[in-house]
Amino acid sequence: MPLVRGGAIGPDVGGDLTPPRTTLDSTDAESRWTAARALAGRAEAVPELAAALGRETVPRVREAIMTALMRVGDSASVEAILPFLRSQDAALRAAAIESLQALPEAIAPFMVPLFGDRDSDVRLLATELARNMEASAATRLLCDLLEREPHPNVCAAAIDVLTEVGTPEAIPALEKCALRFAATPFLPFAVSVAISRLSGAEG
Amino acid sequence: MVEVGASAKARVLVVDDSSLVRLYYRAALEQAGFRVEQAINGIEAMERVLSQPFDLVIVDVNMPRMDGFTFLSTLRRGTGDVATLPALMISTESEMQDFAAATAAGANFYLVKPVAEADIVRHACVLTGAAS
Amino acid sequence: MGGTGTPPFFPITPEEVQRFCEFLYRRTGLSFAQGKRYFIDRRIEERIVATGASSFQAYFSLLRADADHEIEHLINSFTVNETYFYREDHQLRCMTSSLLGGIANLKPPGSTIRIWSIPCSTGEEPYSIALWLMENWPQVDNYNIEIVGSDIDTRALKAAAEGIYGPRALMRLSRDIVTRYFKPVANGNHQIDEGLRGSIQFTRANLIDAQDMAQYRDFELVFCRNVLIYFDDASRRQAAENLYDCLRPGGYICLGHSESMSRISPLFSVCRFPDAIVYQRPESDHG
């Protein structure tokens, strides 16, 4: 019979999962990956992880570092991830948003400053962070943004999140937005869909 | 120019994480006679293009788990028809370097959001060889 | 409101169904054709009643927050979650038609090929892998095949080790296979052959626990079906990273039929074979 029951589970693996922190500097990607995974959730490792994230080029190691920071989940780790919203690298921006999205409580104090950022791309990405928030809080934040926001793409992103998360309180802000951008492609459509979704919402 | 007949409707894959954007493009494209499928990010888009034939992929840049640039690079590195699938990239960025980056990643054309329905349809017709 | 008599009628609006469907699609990848609308309405109503929510809006908030694992309850109400032999056999076919060929080309005869079923539940999956290989892979005798079945539930593992199954579990197996590999036992059940029972290693393991998972390495093939869809984002990432380490470079992972790495992790490459889409740990970090 070709089926064999393995004696040990896999080859001999030492139980030690904690390599020294310096291997985050290693020239070998596999070592950096292992180091990042071992440091997941360690609050004291946040500065080290943040620095490593800034210079890491191998995508899977970046993922592991983001996960490690996300597992800490405190405001220090949020602050470590935030600068990557400004990255020129789309993949890094996406990874940053994903990690932050999983931390709605930790990111909450940063929402207003993010929505006031002078970079429209940062404001746009930040709308995604409201998606995992409680409905009234998310609605208030996004409506405040809609009232002031000059950039149509940021408004479009906010409307998309409101369509999922919003309460009927959002309808007046949405209507005003549609008027402001009546001549802009897509915005009037987005508003009308959002309003129709939210109108039946109070059960 | 090939006319889009009922039995030969060109197939378009719309890739964007915004459900409103996908709805918008789908409505415009279906009205113009295209068959439309959707995906929410580059990984799902790869699954779709590997599972059925498409004539065009319309892909956003900012998407979770796999962004538009990574998707295009992955697509172009593949083999067969899939690698040469026409791709219309759409982004919020409007600088010359962004057009250049899109071309370098393998996009056939690049549009800046928000895109009007007429423009989406017109570009889809050109890129699939269908009559406008 | 009491639970007796007929449940209250919730007139769920088309917009509410749309909102729900978009959320579900974004979160899990599950989608439904237009013709299934009635089916969806009924499921939502059931869940509203089951959770005691006062309205669709209240239920939707609960769902978005995944209170009390509502996502899991919801998905279970939509999908058939029964386990039985040769379930999703297109993946087993993919294993022998496509995946093992490449693996065997790189390994000399006599080498070990390690396959992992996690979660293995009551054993149908790892035993199915064993049966399928013996029945369908011409090269099966040339290699040492190590099959490991793991689960977080020790009672399920105990049942798996015993290998006793009722008629429903065996419904996809031919009578010939049942005769050759099982023997009838009490209560109309069958027990799988002692040799097979002895050849599968059953262990307790938690996908999210990196320490647990550190003991599992060098797998060519992992079946991780119908569990990741229930995890929250953070746990899914964690599990994906753990599974990556458990695979050999170039090793494959099969998910459940409603699951996709697009909702889980970018660590793996998408591979399309005639019988299935599977995911591969890249051979290297480059390209």
- Shared domain check, A86 and A130: no
Look at residue B85 and tell me if it is in a domain.
Answer: yes
Distance from C-alpha of A28 to C-alpha of A35, rounded to nearest angstrom? 11
Portion 89-148 of A in contact with B at CB < 8 A: 90-91, 93-94, 97-98, 120-121, 124-125
- Shared domain check, A138 and A159: yes
**Which amino acid, C10?**
F
pLDDT digits (tens, 9 = 90+) for B2-41: 555 445 799 999 999 999 999 999 999 999 999 999 999 9
Which range marks the domain in which residue B119 is found? Answer: 6-128
Measured at the CA of A88, the angle between CA A35 and CA B107, to 5 degrees, comes to: 110
Look at residue B1 and tell me if it is in a domain.
Answer: no
- pLDDT computed for residue C82 by the predictor: 85
Look at residue A87 and tell me if it is in a domain.
Answer: yes
Q: Do B114 and A156 touch (CB under 8 A)?
A: yes
Look at residue A14 and tell me if it is in a domain.
Answer: no
What is the CATH T-level fold of the domain C14-78, as seen in this structure? Chemotaxis Receptor Methyltransferase Cher; domain 1 (1.10.155)
In this predicted structure, the answer to whether residue B117 has a pLDDT above a threshold of 90 is: yes
In this predicted structure, the answer to whether residue B92 has a pLDDT above a threshold of 50 is: yes
Distance of CA C161 to the CA centre of its chain: 19
- Shared domain check, A98 and A40: yes
- The CATH number of residue B105's host domain is 3.40.50.2300
Distance of CA B74 to the CA centre of its chain: 15
- Shared domain check, A115 and A64: no
Cis amide linkage into residue A168, ω under 30° from 0? no
By CB atoms closer than 10 A (0-12, 13-18, 19+), residue A12 is: exposed
Residues of B with Cβ-Cβ distance to A149 under 8 angstroms: none
In sequence order, what are the beta bridge partners of B56?
Answer: B12
Look at residue A2 and tell me if it is in a domain.
Answer: no
Residues of C with Cβ-Cβ distance to A4 under 8 angstroms: 112, 144-146, 199
Q: Do A13 and C215 touch (CB under 8 A)?
A: yes
**Which amino acid, C176?**
D
Confidence of residue A15 (pLDDT cuts 50, 70, 90): very low
Instruction: Output the CA–CA distances (angstroms, integers) from residue A61 to A56, A124, A183, in the order listed.
Output: 7, 26, 45
Of residues C260 and A95, more confidently modeled? C260
Q: Do C195 and A1 touch (CB under 8 A)?
A: yes
**CB contacts < 8 A (A, C):** 118
Distance from C-alpha of C105 to C-alpha of C235, rounded to nearest angstrom? 35
C16 inside 8 A of chain A by CB: yes
Which positions of chain C have pLDDT values less than 50? 1-3, 5, 287
In this predicted structure, the answer to whether residue A21 has a pLDDT above a threshold of 60 is: no
Average pLDDT over residues B100-119: 95
In this predicted structure, the answer to whether residue A197 has a pLDDT above a threshold of 50 is: yes
Nearest to A135 among C61, C196, C211 (CB): C61
Which chains have 3 or more CB–CB distances shorter than 8 Å to chain B? A, C
ipTM: 0.92
**How many structural domains does chain A have?**
2
Instruction: Determine the distance in angstroms separating the CA of A195 from the nearest CA of chain B, rounded to an integer.
Output: 12
Q: Do B62 and A94 touch (CB under 8 A)?
A: yes
Residues of A with Cβ-Cβ distance to B19 under 8 angstroms: 160, 163-164
Residue that is last in its domain, among A62, A77, A102: A102
- Shared domain check, A195 and A118: yes
Q: Do A94 and B69 touch (CB under 8 A)?
A: no
**How many structural domains does chain B have?**
1
Q: Cβ of C192: how many Cβ atoms within 10 Å?
A: 24
Are C226 and C251 in contact, with CB atoms under 8 Å apart? no
- pLDDT computed for residue A7 by the predictor: 56
Instruction: Determine the distance in angstroms separating the CA of C149 from the nearest CA of chain A, rounded to an integer.
Output: 11
DSSP C156: H
Measured at the CA of C19, the angle between CA B56 and CA B42, to 5 degrees, comes to: 30
Instruction: Determine the distance in angstroms separating the CA of C151 from the nearest CA of chain B, rounded to an integer.
Output: 28
Residues of C with Cβ-Cβ distance to A201 under 8 angstroms: 16, 56-57
Q: Do B43 and C25 touch (CB under 8 A)?
A: no
Look at residue B107 and tell me if it is in a domain.
Answer: yes
- pLDDT computed for residue A63 by the predictor: 94
Nearest to A187 among B65, B114, B119 (CB): B114
- Shared domain check, A163 and A80: no
Mutation for A interface: B40, B61, B65, B92, most A CBs within 10 A: B92
Look at residue A6 and tell me if it is in a domain.
Answer: no
Distance from C-alpha of A108 to C-alpha of A75, rounded to nearest angstrom? 10
In this predicted structure, the answer to whether residue A14 has a pLDDT above a threshold of 50 is: no
pLDDT digits (tens, 9 = 90+) for A29-62: 999 999 999 999 999 999 999 999 989 999 999 9
Residue that is last in its domain, among A102, A123, A153: A102
C30 inside 8 A of chain A by CB: no
Q: Which residue of B has its CA nearest to C25?
A: B40
Cis amide linkage into residue C11, ω under 30° from 0? no
Instruction: Determine the distance in angstroms separating the CA of A4 from the nearest CA of chain B, rounded to an integer.
Output: 35
Distance from C-alpha of A13 to C-alpha of A20, rounded to nearest angstrom? 17
What is the CATH T-level fold of the domain C89-280, as seen in this structure? Rossmann fold (3.40.50)
Which range marks the domain in which residue A28 is found? Answer: 19-102
Distance from C-alpha of C8 to C-alpha of B123, rounded to nearest angstrom? 50
Average pLDDT over residues A134-150: 97
Domain limits, chain C: 14-78, 89-280
- Shared domain check, A134 and A154: yes
Residues of B with Cβ-Cβ distance to A98 under 8 angstroms: 64-65
- Shared domain check, A121 and A35: no
- Taking the CA atoms of residue C265, residue C101, residue C256 and residue C86 in that order, the dihedral angle to the nearest 10 degrees is -170
Portion 22-51 of B in contact with C at CB < 8 A: 39-41, 43-44, 46-47, 50-51
Q: Which residue of A has its CA nearest to C25?
A: A164
Q: Do B50 and C272 touch (CB under 8 A)?
A: yes
- Shared domain check, A23 and A113: no
**Rounded percentage of chain A residues whose pLDDT exceeds 70:** 90
Confidence of residue B65 (pLDDT cuts 50, 70, 90): very high
- Taking the CA atoms of residue C258, residue C262, residue C267 and residue C269 in that order, the dihedral angle to the nearest 10 degrees is 80
- pLDDT computed for residue A188 by the predictor: 98
Q: Do B44 and C265 touch (CB under 8 A)?
A: no
pLDDT digits (tens, 9 = 90+) for C30-39: 998 877 777 8
- Shared domain check, A114 and A75: no
Nearest to C270 among B17, B40, B43 (CB): B43
Question: Strand ranges (DSSP E) for C111-205?
Answer: 112-117, 144-151, 164-165, 182-184, 190-192, 200-204
Average pLDDT over residues A85-112: 92
- Shared domain check, A172 and A95: no
In this predicted structure, the answer to whether residue A90 has a pLDDT above a threshold of 90 is: no
- Shared domain check, A174 and A156: yes
- pLDDT computed for residue A201 by the predictor: 52
Gyration radius of chain C's alpha carbons: 21
Largest CA-CA distance found in chain C, in angstroms, rounded? 68
Residues of B with Cβ-Cβ distance to A159 under 8 angstroms: 20
Residues of B with Cβ-Cβ distance to A186 under 8 angstroms: 21, 24, 113-116
